[in-house]
Structure 1
Amino acid sequence: MVELTGNTLTLEDVKRVCYEGELVSISKDSLKKVKGSRDAVDKIVSEKRTIYGINTGFGKFSDVVIDESDVNDLQKNLIRSHACGVGDPFPEVVSRAMILLRLNALLKGFSGVRPVIVERLVTLLNSNIHPVIPQQGSLGASGDLAPLSHLALVLMGEGKVQYNGTIYATEEVYKKEGLTPIELQAKEGLALINGTQAMTAMGVVNWIEANDIAIQSEWIAALTMEGLEGIIDAFHPAIHEARGYPEQMEVAERMRNLLAGSQLITKQGDKRVQDAYSLRCIPQVHGASWQSLNYVKEKLEIEMNAATDNPLIFDGGETVISGGNFHGQPIAIAMDFMKIGVAEFASISERRIERLVNPQLNDLPPFLSAKPGLQSGAMIMQYCAASLVSENKTLAHPASVDSIPSSANQEDHVSMGTIASRHAHMIIQNVRRVLAIECICALQAVQYRGVEKMSPQTFAFYEEARKIVPSITEDRVFSEDIENLTDWLKKNKRQWTTQLNELIFQ
């Protein structure tokens, strides 16, 4: 059980809740804060004080005062009108993360919602009822208005949800679960949709997947080192300590551990004096990408525990301040940084693929073909990798440098952070496929060299991967191999992270 406080959520907690289905609960102190914040809103309404979002319109309509009898309709109209998301839905795990993050933000006690709102969000999580939320339509400022409105619709008993692997109208699932739609009251609609939880939820899922991919890239790079009889000296600790980047030193250490005991790696001067950069500079390039992931982790864990709606309520309602915490710029920049860092794993991987298949760059059979000329072998797999890498270069263009004014120029600078997070997710999927291609080629290369000469660590990886992709004895539809190995990497990500940690800390 993960207890939520509004202040202590970690990425590890998100993994447990969103990937492993762990239940959540609300701390007593945070629920007390929620109640106090709601009492403040009720007091504002009863005193007929004019406060943005409670009894005024929204955006350019902020100067329009709403009659007390209409404040509930104001919230309902807000959600329905703002539910303008389009395109394919977010992955279910992202929808689940969105509920979790929105719940955690409301528990800080600055948003003015009733306890029934946070309790319903807990029910959705613990009952695996996940809103169907279209991916496109958010500018990433004023919050993720469109995506979060689709989440809020579900609290009202409207919209669609994914439940037990099937999409239903929310009202159907509510009947099955004995749930009653919630009629939103003053401030609650705005509190649910002013926030960065769509881009942050997507960002958290991105980070979890990217972190696993980064580890897998080292296992696969180690296979390639053996397939090309790479020079181990490039990973000597003295080189990396001389530069001083912790991430670079850590990659070099992991590579040394992965290759310990291998008879396929070489020393300087054994076969050549030095390797090409795609082998020699693995710690430097991968290490720099790890730096970007570490930066992203720091920003995500701040944002996961942040109050990002507007206005925020302090001092029991005596201080209600309109600000801009819903602006997604910190996460937009972090996602753009992640895009660059993760894309580099594929960029350098594709260059290693080229070295594995190009007969002018190695002494292996041309394109790792069983019958060169008659059979093309891995020739077009390298084409595929090159195509994915090129696509990543387009996707890596920063979304955060763009802004288009909205709401009659009231909201005149926006972050495009949700676009950045979505593009980061697309890059991650491409990177995993490029790594799968490198893995297929490296498996074939070490087989030619002699798997009995591999390190015990890489041989264990080889044996598991060979269960998914058999040896290339003749040409076949390699698309199936690429997708099968990609799925295997995605499903078995924890296994190789755990094994590598055991190698280092044993």
Structure 2
Amino acid sequence: MKVVYIDGNSLTIKDIIKVAREDYEVKLTDESIKEVEKSRELVDDMVENGEVIYGITTGFGLFSDVLISKEETKELQKNLILSDCCGVGEPYGEDVVRAAMLLRINALAKGYSGIRLSTLNTLIEMLNKGVHPIIPEKGSVGASGDLCPLAHMVLVMIGDGEAIYKGERLNGSEAMKKAGIDIVELVSKEGLALINGTQVLTAVGALAAYDGKMLTKVSDIAAAMTMEALNGIVDAYDEKVHKVRPHKGQILCAENMLKILENSKSTTRQGEKKIQDAYTLRCVPQVHGASRDAIDYIIDKINIEINSATDNPLIFAESRQVISGGNFHGQPMALVFDFLGIAIAELGNISERRIERLINPSLSGLPAFLVKKGGLNCGFMVPQYTAAALVSENKVLAHPASIDSIPTSANQEDHVSMGSISARKARDILENVRNVLAIELMTSAQGIDFGEKDKLAMATRAVHDRIRKDVDTLYEDRKMYLDMKKCYELVKSNELIKIVEDKIGKLN
């Protein structure tokens, strides 16, 4: 059995991928169990003693001054879940739902939330047995955390809502019954503990950041393919150039480009055919490297967030304090996910310009639109239209969501992050860039076919051969969207990275 152990403090993005996409199970460590139980004991004591605590013996938001009796605390928690289930739009994919469940489990395992261990174990059991709540994508403003989407998650825990179980969409109670999981009756603090946090927006953004990191490698591969097709000049990637401007991502990208193009006889040296290349070839390390550095920065911030307590109020068992704060506010993630969208969008921008360079005979020295009998055939004319449309859409999507705020809860919650929108935009930009890179790979493979394939570097030859396994050389016009989809799947699966690494060793 493949397991990720949860202690609230050491989760990584790779762990998220294992659970979200590779069906690893999760287990609490003994230490985290002790911390959860200690915080719950304090909540029980305070409720028993009739102490006034936000969200436990009071209402929520503007109703924080309304006192709730001990007898009404269960109803208060249930009503919180029911009232917050206001999501709209398409449901999140199962990998996002699994990631969000994992992140909430990890936050609760820190022991600052006051949840019962039995309730936390129910959420763990749902994740391990594959009960995936239907969570609509839209409805969170990113403060107080992801109340709305997380409420849809909890709805299934209490035998309501809907879930996917073994590929079937069922009502929540039926899904839980088929999986053999008992539903929960929430008690004091538990509803708030389960929904007051940034775990859904962080799940979306964390998956996009991981995929974006992989996309930087695919971008280097695509650029190397275009270099081969256009007889690009490799001198611009010389390490001496990059050591005098030592941005880490720039140096690593230049190293990748030289490794991928090693022993190529299609690329050229400075002065052999021309003095220098256009920026889209010459400045690959500077552009790809900047996006790489941005994504690394974003991942550092994600690593902090996924091991943080984002509840309100927080339960400090050692000092016997319950403190209302603002850790649920999504601004730290909203800003970086806006940045993530911009960083990934730039990989698409430069790729689309390389596509244009490949198909334009005045720039490439190759047949117009990479097809014989031009005029009768349009060749690769319109795939570039599609790439242009996608990068143009990305320019709209890259507008930051985090600079917007609409007050909620009658101005009690008077600044919100819109972090869930930032995360979803980054994910959507990523999808567009995957398609743009797929078009570049397909186009560069066609350009290479006008030269001598035996002059290719070992790595690019392997990539070309893999593309040609699914997509034939274009001799006359055909339905290009089918070819584009096949190349998209190669990009999304990261198969091309593995193919290159099998030939030249690990890419940066």
Alignment map for 1:458-473 (pairs within 5 Å): 458-473=460-475
Q: Which secondary structure state, in structure 2, belongs to the residue aligned with residue 161 of structure 1?
A: strand
- Once residues 128 and 148 of structure 1 are traced to their aligned partners in structure 2, the CA distance between those partners, rounded to angstroms, is 17
- Once residues 399 and 433 of structure 1 are traced to their aligned partners in structure 2, the CA distance between those partners, rounded to angstroms, is 24
Q: Which secondary structure state, in structure 2, belongs to the residue aligned with residue 467 of structure 1?
A: helix
> Cα 1:37–1:161, aligned 2, differ >3 Å: closer, same or farther?
same
- Once residues 143 and 330 of structure 1 are traced to their aligned partners in structure 2, the CA distance between those partners, rounded to angstroms, is 12
- Once residues 166 and 469 of structure 2 are traced to their aligned partners in structure 1, the CA distance between those partners, rounded to angstroms, is 30
1:180 alignment partner in structure 2: 182
Comparing 203-212 and 322-331, the one that deviates more? 203-212
1:325 alignment partner in structure 2: 327
Q: Which secondary structure state, in structure 1, belongs to the residue aligned with residue 244 of structure 2?
A: helix
How far 1:503 sits from its partner (Å)? 2.2
Q: Does 1:336 align with 2:319?
A: no
AA in 2 matched with 1:40: L
Q: Which secondary structure state, in structure 2, belongs to the residue aligned with residue 323 of structure 1?
A: coil
How far 1:213 sits from its partner (Å)? 1.2
> Cα 1:239–1:424, aligned 2, differ >3 Å: closer, same or farther?
same
Contact 2:102 2:127 in 1 (8 A): yes
How far 1:490 sits from its partner (Å)? 1.1
1:418 alignment partner in structure 2: 420
1:215 alignment partner in structure 2: 217
- Once residues 503 and 292 of structure 2 are traced to their aligned partners in structure 1, the CA distance between those partners, rounded to angstroms, is 16
> Cα 1:494–1:479, aligned 2, differ >3 Å: closer, same or farther?
closer
AA in 1 matched with 2:32: S
Q: Which secondary structure state, in structure 2, belongs to the residue aligned with residue 24 of structure 1?
A: strand
How far 1:400 sits from its partner (Å)? 0.3
Q: Which secondary structure state, in structure 1, belongs to the residue aligned with residue 164 of structure 2?
A: strand
AA in 2 matched with 1:439: L
Comparing 323-332 and 307-316, the one that deviates more? 307-316
Alignment map for 1:289-308 (pairs within 5 Å): 289-308=291-310
Q: Which secondary structure state, in structure 2, belongs to the residue aligned with residue 483 of structure 1?
A: helix
- Once residues 302 and 449 of structure 2 are traced to their aligned partners in structure 1, the CA distance between those partners, rounded to angstroms, is 42
Comparing 403-412 and 204-213, the one that deviates more? 204-213
- Once residues 47 and 251 of structure 1 are traced to their aligned partners in structure 2, the CA distance between those partners, rounded to angstroms, is 61
AA in 2 matched with 1:59: G
Task: Find 2:42's aligned residue among 28, 40, 43.
Answer: 40
How far 1:491 sits from its partner (Å)? 2.0
Q: Does 1:436 align with 2:463?
A: no
Contact 1:213 1:493 in 2 (8 A): no
1:360 alignment partner in structure 2: 362
Contact 2:92 2:134 in 1 (8 A): yes
Q: What are the ranges of 5 or more consecutive residues in structure 2 without an aligned counterpart? A: none
AA in 1 matched with 2:165: Y
2:57 alignment partner in structure 1: 55
* CA deviation vs aligned residue, 1:101-151 (integer Å, no higher than 9, x gap): 000000000000000121112111111111110000100011111000001
* CA deviation vs aligned residue, 1:154-192 (integer Å, no higher than 9, x gap): 111111111122211111122212222100000000011
Q: Does 1:203 align with 2:205?
A: yes
2:26 alignment partner in structure 1: 24
Contact 1:155 1:182 in 2 (8 A): yes
Contact 1:216 1:497 in 2 (8 A): no
Contact 1:137 1:146 in 2 (8 A): yes
How far 1:501 sits from its partner (Å)? 9.6
RMSD: 1.4
How far 1:87 sits from its partner (Å)? 0.1
1:229 alignment partner in structure 2: 231
- Once residues 164 and 392 of structure 1 are traced to their aligned partners in structure 2, the CA distance between those partners, rounded to angstroms, is 35
Task: Find 1:167's aligned residue among 166, 169, 174.
Answer: 169
Contact 1:105 1:308 in 2 (8 A): yes
Task: Find 1:114's aligned residue among 116, 128, 147.
Answer: 116
How far 1:488 sits from its partner (Å)? 2.3
After TM superposition, the score normalised by the length of structure 1 is 0.98
* CA deviation vs aligned residue, 1:365-386 (integer Å, no higher than 9, x gap): 1000132111000001111100
AA in 2 matched with 1:3: Y
Contact 2:259 2:504 in 1 (8 A): no
How far 1:492 sits from its partner (Å)? 3.4
- Once residues 183 and 396 of structure 2 are traced to their aligned partners in structure 1, the CA distance between those partners, rounded to angstroms, is 43
How far 1:500 sits from its partner (Å)? 7.1
* CA deviation vs aligned residue, 1:218-269 (integer Å, no higher than 9, x gap): 1111000000000000100000001111110000000000000111000111
Contact 1:216 1:496 in 2 (8 A): no
- Once residues 500 and 308 of structure 2 are traced to their aligned partners in structure 1, the CA distance between those partners, rounded to angstroms, is 31
Q: Which secondary structure state, in structure 1, belongs to the residue aligned with residue 342 of structure 2?
A: helix
- Once residues 493 and 186 of structure 1 are traced to their aligned partners in structure 2, the CA distance between those partners, rounded to angstroms, is 49
Comparing 180-189 and 165-174, the one that deviates more? 165-174
How far 1:318 sits from its partner (Å)? 2.1
Contact 2:462 2:500 in 1 (8 A): no
How far 1:437 sits from its partner (Å)? 0.5
Contact 1:37 1:317 in 2 (8 A): no
AA in 2 matched with 1:281: C
Q: Does 1:407 align with 2:405?
A: no
Q: Which secondary structure state, in structure 1, belongs to the residue aligned with residue 221 of structure 2?
A: helix
Q: Does 1:192 align with 2:174?
A: no
How far 1:22 sits from its partner (Å)? 1.2
1:485 alignment partner in structure 2: 487
Q: Which secondary structure state, in structure 1, belongs to the residue aligned with residue 137 of structure 2?
A: strand
- Once residues 233 and 439 of structure 1 are traced to their aligned partners in structure 2, the CA distance between those partners, rounded to angstroms, is 23
Contact 1:388 1:434 in 2 (8 A): yes
Comparing 102-111 and 473-482, the one that deviates more? 473-482
> Cα 1:189–1:493, aligned 2, differ >3 Å: closer, same or farther?
farther
Q: Which secondary structure state, in structure 2, belongs to the residue aligned with residue 70 of structure 1?
A: helix
2:141 alignment partner in structure 1: 139
2:89 alignment partner in structure 1: 87
How far 1:493 sits from its partner (Å)? 4.5
> Cα 1:248–1:153, aligned 2, differ >3 Å: closer, same or farther?
same
- Once residues 364 and 117 of structure 1 are traced to their aligned partners in structure 2, the CA distance between those partners, rounded to angstroms, is 65
Q: Does 1:77 align with 2:79?
A: yes
- Once residues 83 and 253 of structure 1 are traced to their aligned partners in structure 2, the CA distance between those partners, rounded to angstroms, is 50
Contact 1:332 1:415 in 2 (8 A): yes
Contact 1:215 1:496 in 2 (8 A): no
Q: What are the ranges of 5 or more consecutive residues in structure 1 without an aligned counterpart? A: none
Number of residue pairs matched? 506
Q: Which secondary structure state, in structure 1, belongs to the residue aligned with residue 90 of structure 2?
A: strand
* CA deviation vs aligned residue, 1:441-482 (integer Å, no higher than 9, x gap): 100011111111100111111111111211111101111111
Task: Find 1:279's aligned residue among 275, 278, 281.
Answer: 281
Alignment map for 1:344-383 (pairs within 5 Å): 344-383=346-385
Q: Does 1:270 align with 2:272?
A: yes
> Cα 1:502–1:26, aligned 2, differ >3 Å: closer, same or farther?
farther
- Once residues 294 and 443 of structure 1 are traced to their aligned partners in structure 2, the CA distance between those partners, rounded to angstroms, is 30
- Once residues 139 and 10 of structure 1 are traced to their aligned partners in structure 2, the CA distance between those partners, rounded to angstroms, is 25
How far 1:275 sits from its partner (Å)? 0.4
Contact 1:212 1:494 in 2 (8 A): no
